[in-house]
Every structure is written in C-alpha cells, then in structure tokens.
Amino acid sequence: MSDGREGAVTAAPLFAGGNEGSEPRWWQRGVIYQVYPRSFQDSNGDGVGDLPGILRRLEYLKWLGADAVWISPFYPSPMRDFGYDVTDHEAVDKAFGSIVDFDAVVREAHARGIRVILDFIPNHTSNRHPWFLESRLSREAPRRDWYIWRDAAPGGGPPNNWRSAFGGSAWEWDSHTRQYYLHTFLREQPDLNWRNPAVERAMHHVVRFWLDRGADGLRVDAVQKVIKDHLFRDDPPNPAYVEGSDDPYDALLHEHSSDQPEIHDVIERMRAVVDGYGGDRVMIGEIYNEVERIVAYYGRDGRGVHFPYNFQLIKLPWDARVIDAAIRRYESLLPPGAWPNWVLGNHDRARVASRVGPAQARVAAMLLLTLRGTPTLYYGDELGMRNVDIPPERVQDPWEKNLPGRGLGRDPVRTPMQWDGSRNAGFSDVEPWLPLSRDCSRVNVRAQERDPTSMLTLHRALLALRRREPALSMGDWAPVQAEESVLAFTRSHGGTRFLVALNMGPEPASLRVGGPGTVELGTLPGSEGQPVDRTLRLRGDEGVIVRLA
C-alpha cells in the first residue's frame, strides 16, 4: 500500500564503543519516569517526599510500565535550589532519608525490573560545600582554583557581562579575598573550575561512588555550562530579545559562558568512566540549545553522552505542521547510529496538560510514546496533572523570588503527586511543602486506575503496547504526508507496521490511507478495532495507532 511515507529512518547500530550488532540496550527499549523526590511520597509526616516514599511506590511504577526511574537530587543541601546546591555529593540529605534507604530503593527497583538513574550536578556546588569554604579562605588556599575567581574589571565591577540564569550578574563579590566568583545559577551555587584536573578527578570519584552502589545511569545536569571561555569575553547581545517580556537571561547570546568546544573532551572522559562499568549504564545530558547544537553532544564517534535530552516538544508551539517539521529535521540531523529521545515535561517547565489542554494532553501522550527513541515521562503527567497556582506566601522557588511576576517560577510543576482523594491526596499526613491542585480529588491514581477512559489507563495501554510491539520501541520511523492539524508517521519492524495519526486540533480531520488496517489503540473511547481503508477520519483531539495490513 501507499501510505505517503517519505524516507524511512532505520534503527542503525549503536556508536563505536556500544554493542553493535547485538540486542538493543534497556534504555533504547525502555521508558524513563522522572520522580521529583520532594513531591512524590512523604513517608515520615514532615510534608516532604523522601526515598522511603519512593520505595513505597515502586510497585506503582512497575504496574504503570516504567522501565527506569530518574530521581532528581537528594544529596545534602541547604535547599536554596532544592537539592541542586550540593554540600556533599556522596551522601543523602536527612530530609530524604539515608544511604541505607538509597540502597533499598536500588535493590527493590532492580527486583521489579526497574533501573535507577540519578542526577549528577557537575557545574556547581553549594557555597557551603567544604570545597568552596576552603576555596574562599584566601587567594592562596589549596582549593582556590577549584572554583572560578576573577579580579574586578578595570574601573571596578564584575569581570564581564555574563548573567545568572536566575537573574542579575553571574559574578558575586567576595569582600574577604577581594575577588569575584562565578555562579551561573544562584549566588549560593558557585561554579566549579573544570579546567583544573583535580576538580575533574574529584567529580569522577562521585560518578564511581554512585555507580558502585548500583545506579544504572546518570542524568548530567546543565552539562553545556561546565566549560567557559578561557578569555572570559563578554557575551554578545541577543537581537531577538524583547525587554520586559522575555527572561532577562536571554538578553545575551551565551557564546562564551556556555557550550564551549572543550566541553566535548570533558564529556568524553566522563563517558569513559561510565563505560568502565560495562555497556549497561547510561549517561544522559541536559542541554537546552538549538537542535543543531544538541546533536553535537553525541560526541565524536559516539563518545559523548548516550543521548542529550531533546526538549523540542516542550518548547515548540503545539501545531502539527511545526512539530512535523521539527521531527523530520531532528531525525535528519542525528549522527549515524545516534539514538533519539523525546521529553514532554520535567521539573523546570510547565506541565503538558497546562500547555496544550487536557484533551490534547492525551494526543501528546500518544506522540511521546510512539516516536522513535527513548521517552521520558514526568511524574503526574500520566494523570493529566496541571500547573498549580501558588499563593505568594507559599512560593519556594528562588527563580520566582528573584524575578517576581515573570511567570518563571517552577513551583507550579513541582506540586505533590496525587495518589487518592483523601486529605493531602495520599501524599502526606500533614500539609505538603507545596499546595495541592484543587482537582486532586478526581485527578489522582485511585480515581483513574479503574476508569477505562482515564488518562492513566491510556498511559498504561500505550506503555503496554510499546513494550509488546518492537515496531513501536525499536522500529524504523518514516513521516507520512498530512495536512492542517494532522501529524502522521509510521513505525515498522520485521513484518509489522503501524500508522500513528494525531489530530492536534479540536475539529474533525481526515488522512488519506492507501490500504487497509485496524485501529489498535485510540486516545478517545470507541475507536479500537475499527477498520480503516482509504480514508482515516479523526475526531477532534483524537489520536490513533493503526495496525496496517
């Protein structure tokens, strides 16, 4: 049959250093589920989620069909940036439990066939980290060069115009040693100097510590920021910046403060540490950049990260033609053998149900879980959780506190997981650290688990189908010509082919199909088992997976 396919992309062997010609790795077949530990499950009645809470909910992750759990930071921290300001990279903050609890999570997750991925934070530490406390003792301190210190500019003021991602200058004056230190994020998060080999050795030790304890991989935070221009040149202005409406950080093009050529050498050496534990560990990079730059992080001959997170579905307008073009371009830019990935939500960006609406969130789930590559699912998105309005007196996020009224705060996407309709939604016996959504009495696991039309049931069905059908997890991908609000593509493996057709608008639409098939799964009730011949008719806000004859 003719289904409008244009240039199928075949699943190629892995990069050099992988397992060419052998079975796909677990992280290629599987689905990653991100847990923000403060908000997943409180086990001790303090209103904050913890590792024992994750342990308690592992059976849910198995039931859902997740293959791996990525746990956001749980390291000792003053919590100025809620765990991303680390004081000890090789321990667990008491708010989250203990190292014994971590070991239990790994052991019990593995017993259920679930891998464990940790956040690794290489760019910075807390300003209370022993390394930084020693660094700021004097200009001659043994660890002075572990951080980035600079004299004031001629005439005074910061050494250059680099900006902090959380507002203001990226430089903080230290009156004791009379120099500035660099902080790409909060002033309480001084940047490490990765041009110092001692820093790199120390951070590699951190990687080995967690891999030795059974972690299956790392999500490397803000990795493109790790190396800066050695001449400390000013960043140029961004001509597209709109004063007063855009994030002030975007007023500059970060040509010198980020994404430097030497970062790829750093990543190669980090990857070598991970590869030393065998081919079953994974290293994922967090890179917010244009897709042309993102794909560079696969590295030379595939010696970079196993995959850099691809955030296009978070950032792009929810428009079928825009997203179709983006998928095609991404696939065309991937280096030979590179493994793609897709993300719909995370702890930093608005929830998908708030971005596109509850109806289209179902379509988005089908898109995420049928595209070629590894999908990452953010906790609560499988329920259709939406952003929660945070009263000013309950705001926790330093980004919102530093730049109030800009809508940059991340608290609305970090609210507690909604487990049931009880008080505090089954998350805690006491008031949680962030407020719950007003709809938590109906948008929760208990209410949706037995509802055949629920968002949770749809996710379980999609995950089960993806696991059951290699065409949807490991198969080839090819775009299908569609018009207006319809996005379509095929997935194929062996003799099995599926057509995925998604109506990304509220009005009915149709797609010409060159031959017969049967709807395997739909986002709306009543479509499964329906025959398809020459024309596939889609209701508004409907997606279907068609098994082609």
Please give, one letter per residue, the 3-state secondary structure of 358-409.
HHHHHHHHHHHCCCCCEEEEECCHHHCCCCCCCCHHHCCCHHHHHCCCCCCC
Bridge partners of residue 498, in order along the sequence = 491, 547
Q: Count CB-CB contacts under 10 A for residue 495.
A: 6
The dihedral region occupied by 167, where left means phi > 0, alpha psi between -120 and 50, and beta the remainder, is left
Query: Cα 361–364–366 angle (5° rounding)?
Result: 120
DSSP 81-103: STTSS-S-TTS--TTT--HHHHH
The answer to whether 420 is a known catalytic residue is: no
Residue among 95, 97, 107 nearest 52 (CA): 97
Measure the CA–CA gap between 193 and 179, rounded to whole angstroms. Answer: 15
The answer to whether 221 is a known catalytic residue is: yes
Q: How many C-alpha atoms does 265 have within 13 Å on its Cβ side?
A: 8
Contact present, 521 and 494 (Cβ < 8 Å): no
Measure the CA–CA gap between 310 and 158, rounded to whole angstroms. Answer: 34
Contact present, 222 and 184 (Cβ < 8 Å): yes
* Among 85, 119, 216, 221, the one annotated catalytic: 221
* Among 50, 81, 216, 286, the one annotated catalytic: 286
For residue 216, which phi and psi values (nearest 5 degrees)?
-95, -5
Residue among 190, 172, 221 nearest 127 (CA): 190
What angle in degrees, to the nearest 10, is found between the helix axes of 358-368 and 455-468?
A: 10
Bridge partners of residue 158, in order along the sequence = none
Contact present, 288 and 184 (Cβ < 8 Å): no
Measure the CA–CA gap between 191 and 147, rounded to whole angstroms. Answer: 6
Residue at 335: amino acid letter: P
Active-site annotation, residues: 221, 286
